[in-house]
Structure 1
Amino acid sequence: MAKPSPQGRTTVREAVLDLLRDCGMTTVFGNPGSTELGFLDRWPSDFRYVLGLQEACVVGMADGHARATGNAAFVNLHSAAGVGHALGNVFTAFRNQAPLVITAGQQARSLLPNFPFLGASEAASFPHPYVKFSVEPARAEDVPTAIAQAYRVAMQKPWGPTFVSVPADDWSAPCHPVRARRVSGDTAPDPALLEEAARAIAAARRPVLVVGPEVDAEGAGEAVVALAERIGAPVLTSPFSSRLSFPEDHPLFAGFLAAAPQAVSEALMPHDLVLVVGAPVFTFHVKGEAGIFRSDIPILHLTMDGAAAASAPWGTSILGSLRLALPALAALLPDGRRPLPAPRPRPAPPAAAHPIPPAFLLHRLREVMSDDAILVEEAPSHRPAMQAQMPIRRWGGFFTMASGGLGYSLPGAVGIALARPERRVVCLIGDGSMMYSPQALWTAVQHRLPLAVVVINNEGYGAMRSFGQVMQVRDVPGIDLPGLDFASLAHSMGCPGRRVSRAEELDDALAEALAAEGPMLVEVVVDAAVPTLYGKA
């Protein structure tokens, strides 16, 4: 049927579906309920509906899809209770700067004055402050315009989630179609500040770069490598970077900053200038003194994130798109003549043992993964070992959560696999993390996704064990997780699974999972020794 003209009339449902087509959002992530049936009625054949069995999974899958495609993902949640279930991963999407348009059903407008079953009395306030825009339109005919505005706000940098509450009877109401519009998401940096930064960099004798996740999100990877090579300076990854920040096999790559103030200061204070690109200044997780902020060492900060720039305790922040700022800054610099730093030493391959050392598992996983595989990680206590044993080389090849909240990475990996079916996705996840959103395995099975799930089973919350040592606390309850069987859990949802407890079984199981036509889970029982969570860069 022909699309109505802008002067004609249509229904809210048809106007929204046409808008979603125009915005490239024909994959819809949802968990349906009665208040969404008006939208889901006579589902169009050119749309893909991705069912998640719990709303946190739904938002996590949409987040992964949005980050992998660079376009907002559309989410349809069930009423206020569904939004409540989803809020943990809405918070994570906000920290991930993932562009999402989240809609939720609301009871019929005529019922709202009487506090109806499933109704939300302040629906638009519910997800605040972790959405960029939130509204329940005053009239049914305003719903398509509100969703159009939500899309444009989600896609303005820094990206993030937005929210629209839609009463159940709005979908059949008459309205005008909404015209598609484009709003630029890039802004140019101040040329005078770039020139000032170039002079400071050229005068520095021992500069260092700290690079963060905005680089990969903006597709500015080649530009940051070119800038680092022109400066001739070592490059560190910012604390808790949720994406690849710099190729980890590059000669200039110098390692990872820990999320601890003293460790960051010790790593940076031997330098006479710090250039932070696409990251906050700095993300910390533990208390301590950051002497770098009391020194005279200049910190230059390139970012699109105005909140991160405003919160920086020291230095000069230059707001603007990295896609524009990095080449412009490089063009202002003289050819680099500094001697290159010594290559970063690589650790020796770990030895096999029983029980399996986590570092040995991670080393073997890196050996069997193809170069174009995408790693999605949620094993916080094993991250230092992962960083040592699994160098990431390819842009778009690594994702994790920026919030610290568990329950993101398995559904996130499903969304990434839906967006990138031509690449194998590996979800590396701890046993505690796995129990937050295991339902996502079912969705992976339904779509036969190329997803290998590797569960590191140390029978507990390893990060809590590590923090217990650091904080010198003992006998903390709720840390041990005995008796979980993840291979059986996978089988219960139609996903092949294997449990490995001996080093000699590991390579065969990992190779099988990475070659499987659909999803497969490998549970690896590892040494439960308490890891060191924070160390020097």
Structure 2
Amino acid sequence: MPHGPMETGVVTVREATFALMRELGMTTVFGNPGSTELPFLDRWPDDFTYVLGLQESVVVGMADGYARATGRAAFCNLHSAVGVGHAAGNIFTAFRNQAPLVITVGQQARSLLPGNPFLGATEAANFPRPYVKWSIEPARAEDVPAAIAHAHRIAMQRPWGPTLVSIPMDDWGVLTRPVPARLVSVDVAPDPALLDRLAAALAKAERPVFVVGPEVDQEGAGPALLALAEHARAPILTSPFASRVACLEDHPLFQGFLAAAPNAVAAGLAGHDLILVIGAPAFTFHVAGECAVFHDGTPIFQLTSDGEAAAAAASGTAILGSMRLALPALRERLPETRRAAPAPRVPAPPPAAALPLPAEYLFAALRAAMPQEAILVEEAPSHRPALQRHLPVTRWGGFYTMASGGLGYSLPAAVGVAMANPGTRVVAVIGDGSMMYSIQAIWNAVQARLPLTIIVVNNAGYGAMRSFSRVLGVEGAPGIELPGLDFVSLAAGQGCPAQRVETAEALHAGLNAAFAAEGPMLLDVVVDHAIPHLYHKAK
């Protein structure tokens, strides 16, 4: 700590940082502490909440879910180089999710850094790149609060994303001046001339289609989207790998989901004479192939706040702008249309029970049992088509998943979402393979007594790998089967009640019990090993 008289208006780096965090509304800190973080944690303020995660990937996943659900930057505190390494997968996912995070990382004392000390991070600011929007290890201790303020502003600029500040452990006691929070606009207005061009093309089109992605829900622009679509009488498809709800899935204009394959996208968009991509890349693919709409002359327009997504599009006209500004502005430019609205999507028929249980039956039963206001957090990639058919999301802010494809996100994210929505039931639908990446997050749900229902979709293996093996013509690949996992015992070891479910009767009883529970409860639901085709056309 500093000695001698303190200059008027000067405080320690630690005091300046906490004052800044209060102003920015970052008084909930997600962390996993180590020795290099202890000076920051010393004399923890009573008005701050520290959420301990038992592994750094869990810490970042919880913070990501919390940030996306609140619409505010969340604060993470990780431990040195190894802690960032543990968290790297979910930092990558946060970047793809456009989750606003301010991540601070402990660093060894400055005096030790030239000698490659134990727990020292070499080039700490470069370690997480390119999957943070901005990172720094300030050259002077006095600059730490300003660096955190800078990181917050960049995290909250569209597109949102994580930032990182590496802080040597002896910086916290150095004297500096307070750094007040600044008001910085975060939205960008679209080019009026390009909006005019889009409106003219859309008015002329006879069979337009909207392909909508997660930016709409992220910005709270769902009602504006529906007002535009209803005015244009345009069908809505969800973009490939959308990590949030893109359209209310019981709306008459909603027509289904595009899969992440070029031929599936081409088939899903066939017959339309204008494609408007809203709040999404154009397009995200997971397998190779040709997408005819890039070359057949179909006009493609894209509205997005993500400059990289606009630059990466293979064809068409991209208009940069925030959804909450672009969608009403486009609506105002459109004349009344005489085109007929598309026929509503035909609901999937109710699935029948069987032994083992079909995943479709599980999701239909879950839809009937879960509260209307519940929030769904999903990480069951091989079962996503079945979930989309039988468990529609019917409210904005009602669905989250990962945009990265990296496993181990959604269970801790569900904890963060539940913390951001006190008293609201959150349902985490997680594959058995995914559960083992971040199962420590159950402990957080128990400690906070969160109303979290965890559904393990247990097909005793990596179902997505089974599906891709079929797509790619691969036979006999090792490392796909997962026998012998006992999720009831794993949950009980962290204090969470759990049941194993194998029959329809047990499923309905288990769901009733789980939704009646005040705190978390896990259901380990054994489903069949049917191999779904992940890249069907939109339906």
Give the structure-1-normalised TM-score. 0.98
1:241 CA displacement: 0.2
Paired AA for residue 148 in structure 1 = A
Between the aligned partners of 1:217 and 1:19, the Cα distance in structure 2 is 25
Aligned counterparts, 1:18-167, within 5 A: 18-167=19-168
The answer to whether 1:428 aligns with 2:459 is no
C-alpha distance in 2 between matches for 1:291 and 1:515: 50
Aligned residue in 2 for 1:227: 228
User: Who is 2:287 aligned against?
Assistant: 286
2:338 is matched with 337
1:451 shift after superposition: 0.5
User: How far, CA to CA, are the matches of 2:403 and 2:63 in structure 1?
Assistant: 16
**AA partner of residue 391 (structure 2):** M
Task: Give yes or no for contact 1:216–1:244 (8 Å, CA) kept in 2.
Answer: yes
Residues 1:297 and 2:298 aligned together: yes
Q: 1:91-490 counterparts in 2 under 5 A? A: 91-490=92-491
2: CA distance between counterparts of 1:148 and 1:267? 45
The amino acid of 1:52's aligned partner reads: G
Task: Give, as a single letter, the amino acid of the residue that structure 2 aligns with 1:135.
Answer: I
Give how far 1:340 is off. Answer: 1.2
Shift of 1:532: 1.6
In 2, the alpha carbon distance for the partners of 1:267 and 1:536 equals 5
Residue range with higher mean Cα deviation, 249-258 or 6-15: 6-15
Q: Which amino acid aligns with 1:131?
A: V
Q: Which amino acid aligns with 1:257?
A: L
Q: Deviations along 1:143-166, whole A, 9 cap, x unmatched?
A: 000000000000000000000000
Amino acid paired to 1:169:
D
- Give ranges in structure 2 of 5+ residues lacking alignment: 1-5
Shift of 1:269: 2.6
- Separation in structure 2 between the aligned mates of residue 459 and residue 430 of structure 1, nearest angstrom: 9
**Runs of 4+ displaced beyond 4 Å:** none
1:76 aligned partner, one-letter code: N
Shift of 1:7: 6.3
With structure 2 as the length reference, what TM-score do the two structures score? 0.98
Q: 1:512 corresponds to which letter in structure 2?
A: A
Distance 1:122 1:446 in 2: 36
**CA positional deviation for 1:245:** 0.2
* 52-61 vs 331-340, greater mean Cα deviation: 331-340
Provide the alpha-carbon RMSD of the alignment: 1.0
Shift of residue 337, structure 1, vs aligned partner: 2.0
Task: Report the more deviating stretch, 7-16 or 143-152.
Answer: 7-16
Q: How far is the alpha carbon of 1:423 from its aligned partner?
A: 1.1
- Give, in whole Å, the separation in 2 of the partners of 1:470 and 1:159: 34
CA offset digits 1:117-149 (Å, max 9, x no partner): 000111000000000110000011100000000
8 A contact 1:6–1:177 mirrored in 2? no
C-alpha displacement of 1:99: 0.2
Letter in 2 for 1:324: L
Paired with 2:234 and 2:110, the residues of 1 have a C-alpha distance of 60
Q: CA 1:223/1:6 → structure 2, altered by over 3 Å: closer, same or farther?
A: farther
3-state SS, counterpart of residue 263 of structure 2: helix
The equivalent of 2:502 in structure 1 is 501
State the AA in 2 paired with 1:55: E
Q: Shift in Å at residue 6 of structure 1?
A: 11
SS at match of 1:416: helix
Partner Cα distance (2:198, 2:530) in 1: 46
Q: Secondary structure at the match of 1:125?
A: coil
SS at match of 1:120: coil
> Do the aligned residues in 2 keep the contact of 1:7 with 1:176 (CA within 8 Å)?
no
Structure 1: which 5+ runs fail to align?
none
